[in-house]
Amino acid sequence: MTDTNNFIHNIIDKDLEEEKYGDKVHTRFPPEPNGYLHIGHAKSICLNFTTAQKYGGKCNLRYDDTNPVKEDMEYVDSIEADVKWLGFSWDQRLWASDYFDEMYQCAVELIKQGKAYVCELNADETRAYRGTLTETGKESPFRNRTPEENLKLFEGMKEGRYADGEKVLRAKIDMASPNMNMRDPVIYRIAHVPHHNTADKWCIYPMYDFAHPIEDAIEGITHSICTLEFEDHRPLYDWVLREVGRWPAPPQQIEFARLNITNTIMSKRYLKALVDEGKVDGWDDPRMSTIAGIRRRGYTAEAVRDFCERIGVAKANSTVDVGLLEHCVREDLKARVESRNVVENPIKIIITNYPEGESEELEIENNREVPELGSRKVPFSRELYVDGDDFMEEPVKKYFRLFPGNEVRFKGAYFITCSQVVKNQDGTIKELLCTYDPETKSGSGFEGRKVKGTIHWVDAKTAIKIRIRNYDYLMIEDEKGEQTLNPDSLIETEGYAEPLLGEAKAGERFQFFRKGYYIADEKFTTDEEKVFNKIVGLKSSWKK
């Protein structure tokens, strides 16, 4: 059975057919705990976990913590929260640093076989000896040391007898290889830096290209999925496993194109800089492309998984339109949230023929497309607010909302006609005098006449004030076509909302009728004050 959408699954199908790993499928997600995960990592998480699910296999969460300098345990908790939020559970949670002993043994094994040597060239010399893409490299003068000598020196490195950079252990492969990664790559370096897990037990640490295949092999990983930059490293991955020779069915590395999205930062380092420089409100700022950020923004895990599924698995790098991600969010929310009335830049409405001091409760449906979401009661009386965008004193062509002399439907209420604009001394609008037609009550079956515009409203006396945080992309293109930080990525406004919104709990999502999707912000929403993040607008910018 071939699944043409996913070339990785095609490979696995073939491996299963040939019983390369028996009936086993075992993947892993291997983050380096040096920052919060971003939407690119979500792609890798979904791919690794759903692949294991599809084949009834397993997926490990493995911290790739072999570099003691950059890691910080604060990130571990965030990584686990993010994977769980996406809806996955790992088979085992493991630390690459737990394999330091075994990795050391593997290095010793290579030395004994004459496949690795201790080199004393400094960094500049090493670079010069390596050659270029057009020039073959030159062999290090230390290349032909005997295994005995290398063993002694390597042990000395481990014992801390040398300073950082004084010596390295290199694989002895081929200085003439057209693949630069195969020109005697460094596999161990000295770093007198304590490690969060192993403290000061080690002052030598394995390089990624040596450590990663061993980590995979120790865990019995069958398919080690990584991004395209590692394609040129695959021969080294295979070399390490073959030459160490401990594993009869070594894992195989498979590369896919990393996810890039327009207007979206896809680098932990860059995201960290924004946090460190105070350009954003932490790693979970709703503008950030971190999983924590998009969660606080109000995106759902279902939408993110749907997005990862739709973009598929590619073998060539490309950039996905951020509009597709937003589309997935909108599609998911459309079917599950209730709507509420909220107006911004409010204009006061006085219904002059509505009895003073009276009010009524109107029943308004919560989600037209999902009747199961029921309805709610919304107060209506003589004084209301409408949105500043829904009135024009001098209407442009095809403007069907409120303007002097025009009749519109107030959603869920009555037909209302604007009869007069009352101004303040400075010429701004004080209020609109309007009349309503009691015959036209929503749900009464009135069919006397039709109106073209429907607008929403809130009752002035019972309305509550809310804060709305409207977001734009953090990254935009400047005149020169270069990516730059958007100075207007957060615009805070104020709104008037129907009273029910005063009960919103942090994390609850709504459609603000005719406006978009919003979530009560986790950090700023309290019993007294409701602060909403705009998740996404109603209209899609995304075209198939």
Q: Least Å distance between CB 268 and Mg ion?
A: 8
Q: Does 31 bind ligand ATP (CB under 6 A)?
A: yes
Q: Least Å distance between CB 280 and ligand ATP?
A: 16
| Candidate list 9, 41, 170, 172; residue touching ligand ATP; CB under 6 A | 41
535 token code pair: 């998740």
3-state SS assignment for residue 358: coil
- Let me know: does 156 contact 166? Beta carbons within 8 Å: no
Report how far residue 8's alpha carbon sits from residue 10's, in angstroms, rounded to the nearest whole number: 5
**Closest listed residue to residue 187, CA positions, set 157, 210, 162:** 210
Element spanning 52, H or E: helix 39-54
Q: Least Å distance between CB 80 and ligand ATP?
A: 14
- Exactly one of 138, 258, 441, 514 is catalytic; which is it? 258
Count of CB atoms situated within 10 Å of the CB of 5: 10
Bridge-partner residues for 253, per DSSP? 224
Residue 213 near which of Mg ion, ligand ATP, none (CB within 5-8 Å, type-dependent): none
Nearer to ligand ATP, 43 or 296 (CB): 43
- Let me know: does 525 contact 504? Beta carbons within 8 Å: yes
- Exactly one of 24, 170, 268, 509 is catalytic; which is it? 268
Report how far residue 431's alpha carbon sits from residue 536's, in angstroms, rounded to the nearest whole number: 31
Q: Which residues contact 72 (CB under 8 A, 6 or more apart)?
A: 33, 34
The upper half-sphere exposure of residue 440, i.e. CA atoms within 13 Å in the direction of its Cβ, equals 18
- Let me know: does 511 contact 337? Beta carbons within 8 Å: yes
503 noted as active-site residue: no
List of E strands, 182-288 = 186-190, 204-206, 223-227, 252-256, 260-261
Residue 43 near which of Mg ion, ligand ATP, none (CB within 5-8 Å, type-dependent): ligand ATP
Stretch that binds Mg ion, among 12-20, 25-33, 130-138, 380-388 (CB under 5 A): 25-33
Q: Least Å distance between CB 42 and ligand ATP?
A: 8
- Give me the amino acid identity at 402: L
Write the binding mask 371 to 410 for ligand ATP: x where contact by CB under 6 A, - elsewhere: ----------------------------------------
Q: Phi, psi (5° rounding) for residue 243?
A: -75, -35
32 noted as active-site residue: yes
Report how far residue 509's alpha carbon sits from residue 298's, in angstroms, rounded to the nearest whole number: 7
258 noted as active-site residue: yes
Q: Does 213 bind ligand ATP (CB under 6 A)?
A: no
DSSP 285: -
208 token code pair: 């990624």
Write the binding mask 231 to 270 for ligand ATP: x where contact by CB under 6 A, - elsewhere: ---------------------------xx------xxxx-
Q: Tokens 């995304």, residue?
A: 542
- Exactly one of 32, 102, 149, 231 is catalytic; which is it? 32
Stretch that binds ligand ATP, among 25-33, 88-96, 119-127, 211-219 (CB under 6 A): 25-33
Nearer to ligand ATP, 149 or 321 (CB): 321
Stretch that binds ligand ATP, among 26-34, 245-253, 294-302, 511-519 (CB under 6 A): 26-34
Nearer to Mg ion, 32 or 98 (CB): 32
Stretch that binds Mg ion, among 30-38, 217-225, 283-291, 310-318 (CB under 5 A): 30-38
Binding site for ligand ATP (CB under 6 A): 30-32, 40-41, 43-44, 226-227, 258-259, 266-269
Residues that are catalytic: 32, 258, 268
Binding site for Mg ion (CB under 5 A): 32
